[in-house]
Structure 1
Amino acid sequence: MASEHDIIVVDDHPLFRRGVIQLLKMDPSFNVVAEAGDFEAAMVAVRERDPDIVLLDLNMKHTSGVEILTAIKTFDPSIRVIMLTVSDSPSDLLQCFQNGADGYLLKDQEPEQILEDIQKAAKGQTVLSASMNQALAECLREESFSKERRVSELTEREKSVLKLIAQGKTNKEIGKALEISDGTVKVHVKHVLHKPSFRSRVEAAVWAKEQKNL
């Protein structure tokens, strides 16, 4: 079976990297094309291997995970970056999503759950450890009023897209539900994120779930 998703694992602990790589081998659609333990090695791998997904540690000894995240998204915003970390700090969580992370998973999850979440991410979903949902909601609540005001600028179709994002739907699933093309979905998603200044699909989804009148 041909590999469908090229992955780079970035973590400064070689033993942990090896464990993650072994976990990924359980899914034949995953192909680990490189591993790295610092900023320079990570960016060389990203530029040379053009991955679909990067699994990225947040707090490394000589490297800032957020710095790598920002560099990856600047190089190619389509690369999905999933933070894989021990930090359950709400501020770390929010900072990662503000800088474009596509997921935030805790290392203390069961390996099977981590693999399942990475599989979801590969399909275009944004993933978040269940224990971090409340933390993210609390962080975003402070910005809720201004977001609510700006969301009122969305068209009815864009609001429909936002509701589907909140349900965890991928772009393809949104297109099917609304009977519109993938290209049109991408335009609507761009507007949904830009007008209210959402920094990621996760921020938009969590905010929308908190609203009763959307």
Structure 2
Amino acid sequence: MVQKSTKRGRPCAYDADDALARARDVFWQVGYAATSLDDISAATGMGRPSLYGAFGDKRALYLAALQHYQAMAGRDLRAALAPEQPVREGLRLVYDHSLALYFPAGQAARGCFLIGTAVTEAAADPHVRTALADGFRALDRAFEDRIRLAQRTGEVKKTDDPAALAKLASATLYFLAIRARTGETRETLEAVATSAIDLICGPADRGRPTTSTAR
């Protein structure tokens, strides 16, 4: 006797990280308000019922995409600011990587996902406001921790305020993100990043760790 299968429906065939990345890119390009579930469905290849089942409504999907982006950005930031490399080089990596995201190859400049979308939504949505504030604080903290270490190795002047320098480093990222969306060229923004690094680290010829000369 042939037994009938008791399974119903099809197994889950989507990759959650890939779907979130595709949804994020739609929000990133046109903003939260202008993005429809049909847009997300087309980008992810998932029908509305599948989207609701996997992520919930549009707001829940946006919050998940925001969390996914912040986790990715945090990993990249920690890697760039690793203590094994000079702080000047680390800052350059942070800004170069960010500009690569802000100016995707073959596409219009899009700036930063967090700043470009969450700043607008934060005014009315406390969850987005909290995520945005947490992201800014984490960025300041990462910069400040690395700058304090650079002060101990002689790469940054010990008399400078590390918290203030960290906020300068963060503010530079915000500037790059916003100006990228307004049509500034990548070359112009790279020059701005270089100026910020010089302000934080001092002239380029002094940004090296100190070494002992004792014999």
Larger Rg: 2
Whichever structure has more strand as a proportion of its residues is 1
Task: Choose between structure 1 and 2 for higher RCO, CA contacts under 8 A separated by at least 6 residues.
Answer: 2
Whichever structure has more helix as a proportion of its residues is 2
TM over 0.5: no
- Category of TM-score, reference length = shorter chain: under 0.3
